[in-house]
Amino acid sequence: MSASKISVEALTDVGRKRKGNEDAHTVNRELNLYVVADGMGGHAAGEVASKIAVEAIEEFVTLTSGNEEITWPFGLDETISYDGNRLKTAIRHANGKVLEATRESAELEGMATTVAAILVDGDVANLAHVGDSRIYRWCEGEMTLLTSDHSWVNEQIQTGVISPEQARSHPLRNVVTRALGGRADLLVDVQSLTMAPGDVLLVCSDGLTTMIPDEDIAAILGGAEGDIARAARELVDEANDRGGEDNITVVLLKYEG
């Protein structure tokens, strides 16, 4: 693992409408692992799913942080980096853990969770996601969405059936088409990018992005001028000011070089 200087700020908030917070996140400086999970399911089962997921991901990434030989339960994907494999397998391992818990308790039946995760090594950020939690990059004054939601509305947008504007208020806007807790053979989207000093990565749950359009998220990141603590606070406050209809979680990483 090569050293890199990363600043991190994480905030989670229940929002204005929900009783509990079904989001979970982890900031592990030692592993350079940053995860947001957004749980779904009745009777607090969503909280269980997201918590199991972040813990299981951390567990597998820890297991592969040394030089010891380990068994890769799903084999290695030669088309992606080693750290990409660690993330992908960690998420599939977490999927197994969520499914296992679901089978063991009738109360947890149907629970599921999204995941968006970043594993940093030097100036390389390895990203993985499942569901509609997102990762954005702020680089030289421009914001780019790096992930593509596994959601019903995003599929409709991609095929031109509805517009992004219509998606924002669509009754099915919360329906995800891929999540941990669904199929055993879960597909995980993985990518890697090289960061430049000053780059900021934002990992967030949909409680942020359904409340604030991308251009306004970009305006907040720009206005904060690299102060990620300020940006995190302003993002959460803005989502609440606009209604706070869901739990809001933001993890901001700044690559200092």
Contact pick of 246, 250, 251, 255 for Ca ion (by CB under 5 A): 246
Which is closer to Ca ion, CB of 85 or CB of 114? 114
* Of 6, 5, 15, the residue nearest 235 (C-alpha): 15
Q: Does 47 bind Ca ion (CB under 5 A)?
A: no
Q: Does 83 bind Ca ion (CB under 5 A)?
A: no
Least distance in angstroms from the C-beta of 246 to Ca ion: 4
Reading phi first (left if > 0) and then psi (alpha if -120 to 50, else beta), residue 48 is in: alpha
Which is closer to Ca ion, CB of 48 or CB of 125? 48
DSSP-derived pairing of the beta strands 112-113 and 134-139: unpaired
| Identity at 62, one-letter amino acid code | T
Q: Report the distance separating Cα 199 and Cα 193, nearest Å.
A: 11
Which is closer to Ca ion, CB of 47 or CB of 206? 206
Q: Which of the stretches 33-41, 68-76, 134-142, 151-159 binds Ca ion when contact is defined by CB under 5 A?
A: 33-41
| Identity at 187, one-letter amino acid code | L
Which is closer to Ca ion, CB of 13 or CB of 206? 206
Q: Does 206 bind Ca ion (CB under 5 A)?
A: yes
Contact pick of 38, 58, 83, 238 for Ca ion (by CB under 5 A): 38
The secondary element (H helix, E strand) that includes residue 12 is strand 6-13
| Identity at 208, one-letter amino acid code | L
Least distance in angstroms from the C-beta of 205 to Ca ion: 5
- The footprint of Ca ion on this chain (CB under 5 A) covers a number of residues equal to 5
Least distance in angstroms from the C-beta of 21 to Ca ion: 10
Which is closer to Ca ion, CB of 182 or CB of 207? 207
Which is closer to Ca ion, CB of 102 or CB of 205? 205
Least distance in angstroms from the C-beta of 38 to Ca ion: 4
Least distance in angstroms from the C-beta of 60 to Ca ion: 24
In the numeric block, the tokens 């607090």 are attached to 44
Instruction: Please write down the long-range contacts of 39-44, taking CB distance under 8 Å and 24 or more positions apart.
Output: 39/111, 39/112, 39/113, 40/111, 40/112, 40/113, 40/114, 40/176, 40/179, 41/108, 41/110, 41/111, 41/112, 41/181, 42/110, 43/107, 44/20
Per CB under 5 A, residues contacting Ca ion are 38, 205-207, 246
